[in-house]
Chains A and B, each alone.
Chain A
Amino acid sequence: VAHAPATLRRVVETLPLLQNALLAPFRFISDTCQIGQRWTLFSTTGGIRYRLWIEAHDRHRKRWALLYRAQDPEHRFMSRLLEYRRVMNGWNPSRRGAKQSYEPFAVWISRSVLAGDAHFDRVRVRMERVQILERGAGVATLGDFAFTIQHGREVLR
């Protein structure tokens, strides 16, 4: 658009405004029913992605225990629940980052872990950053984490 002739640029920039004005009387429908007609299915792939880790801190051993990690057959704590599509949609970050349901999810999983095991005094939920490799070769860890949330026993109150 930046290189287009001025007239064409004005038309292109005006069209969304016109569309918004025309659709304004019907906006309540899309807001109430949460519907739209813009379908973005895997519009971006590759690059940097995430891998969910859920860990609990053992108050006696003073170390973190890995409970669940995506794509890790040895750490499958509550995996059927966590991988159910509606739950996964809540914690899986989008292109714009962590979703609004990520924090309540972290609170909920922390409460579940801490209420079920008195040995643990803290729960940590975080996303390992990974790079998707070329030609379907898998992923390479970037060695750091994003969206780390930690809760202690205060969440049980």
Chain B
Amino acid sequence: VIARWVAFWDRREAPTSLALARILVGLALLADLLQAKCVGAVELIWAAPPQGMAWGALSEPSSLAARWLGTSPHSAELLWALAVTCTLLFLFGALYRVSSLLLWITLCQTSRFLPEVDAIDQLLRLVVPILALSGANASCSIDAWLRRKRGTPYPAAVPAWPRYLLILQLCWMYFSAAHNRGDAAWYPQGGFSAVANVMSDPHFGRFAPGTFRSVYPLTQLGTAATMLFEGSAPLMLLWLWLDWPASDGRNERGGKLGQVTRRWRVRWVWMALGTALHLGIAVTMRLGIFPFGMLALYPIFVHPEELLRAKARLTKR
């Protein structure tokens, strides 16, 4: 059993899925940081009171950033510049290990400054170190390009465990969100009214409260679909196992259930449902990068072989 456990976590695969996740996460983070600058929020969110609202910058024990950079509006700009630089290096896979670990430290420090942040910030603080330790820079990166130029390219296969960990993390996040919902509005007894309620919230709704009154049944469907999607997240592990691409193209895992899963493309249906829900959130609610940050991680649900096959098919055309 121990040998199989070790063999499982020691599996290797092409770095394509991790690299794609790295690029998309980097883009989402960069967009968020640039938006902070464009709307003039940098000093407000990362300078200590009264020049800003970052009350955490003054808390004890003081954070590294507060000690090294300070807590003034000027240091807030420095912190922003550091975050943008690290994000760019992370996105392009340059000096990858160092830059991604620095990015993680920066994300942790900014959260110490202003602890009231979104779930997506917390998720990114968990995801970035895993990506940092992965071979996500072995493809589509400046590091990989330089290594190829020097004649010492990265190996074609990198450890798969970071992708497995990220899959577990995302599935847990969805499932945890579902089972932490005690509000009846998420269930039949509350009339599946939760999504309509959130869209009516003056702070979270993108449109005026009551805008979606005429399509209320659709919002009920959205609530039910959200609970079904999030509650069924652990099953994604089963769908992934049943839908594992076999090297000879013949997958016979899981008997009848496996056949049904593959024929109905259950894994892809689940991902499509998640994509639709997140895009729906992006259109109707003001949640910043949350939907995009979540979708940025979806490539981890796709085996690198599938991505490479899709790429080969596209380039053939």
Residues of chain A having any CB pair with chain B under 8 Å = 32-46, 49-52, 70-71, 80-81, 83-90, 92, 99-101, 103-105, 107-108, 111, 130, 132-139, 155
Contacts and interface: CB of A to CB of B under 8 A. Distances in A.
B40 interface: yes
B111 A46 contact: no
A49 B117 CA distance: 19
A86 B125 contact: no
23 contacts: A33-B111, A41-B119, A43-B181, A45-B201, A46-B193, A49-B203, A70-B203, A85-B32, A85-B118, A85-B289, A85-B290, A86-B45, A89-B114, A89-B117, A90-B45, A90-B116, A100-B115, A107-B49, A108-B50, A133-B210, A136-B212, A138-B200, A139-B210
B35 interface: yes
Scoring A34, A108, A130 by chain B CB atoms within 10 A of each residue's CB, the highest score goes to: A34
B114 A101 contact: yes
Q: How large is the interface on B (under 10, 10 to 19, 20 to 34, 35 or more residues)?
A: 35 or more
B62 interface: no
Interface stretch (B10-18, B94-102, B169-177): B169-177
A137 to B, nearest CB: 5
Interface stretch (B51-59, B83-91, B144-152, B257-265): B51-59
Contacts of A90: 45, 53, 114, 116
Nearest to B122: A35
Contacts of A155: 50
B60 interface: no
Contacts of B166: none
B202 A50 contact: yes
Contacts of A37: 172, 176
A51 B198 CA distance: 13
A132 B50 contact: no
Contacts of A36: 122
Given A84-B36, A138-B210, 4 more contacts: A33-B125, A39-B177, A43-B180, A133-B200
Given A39-B176, A43-B182, A45-B185, A83 B286 contact: yes
B245 interface: no
A35 B215 CA distance: 38
Nearest to A49: B201
B154 interface: no
B209 interface: yes
A8 B32 CA distance: 47
A86 B203 contact: no
B288 A84 contact: yes
B108 interface: yes
Contact of B200 (A42, A70, A132): A132
Contacts of A44: 182-183
Given A50-B203, A100-B55, A132 B197 contact: yes
B205 interface: yes
A108 B185 contact: no
Contacts of B186: 45
Counting from the closest, the 7 A-B pairs by CB-CB distance are A138-B210, A85-B288, A136-B196, A138-B209, A45-B197, A104-B49, A46-B197
B11 to A, nearest CB: 25
B286 A35 contact: no
Given A46-B194, A139-B209, A40 B203 contact: no
Nearest to B174: A39
A85 B176 contact: no
B240 interface: no
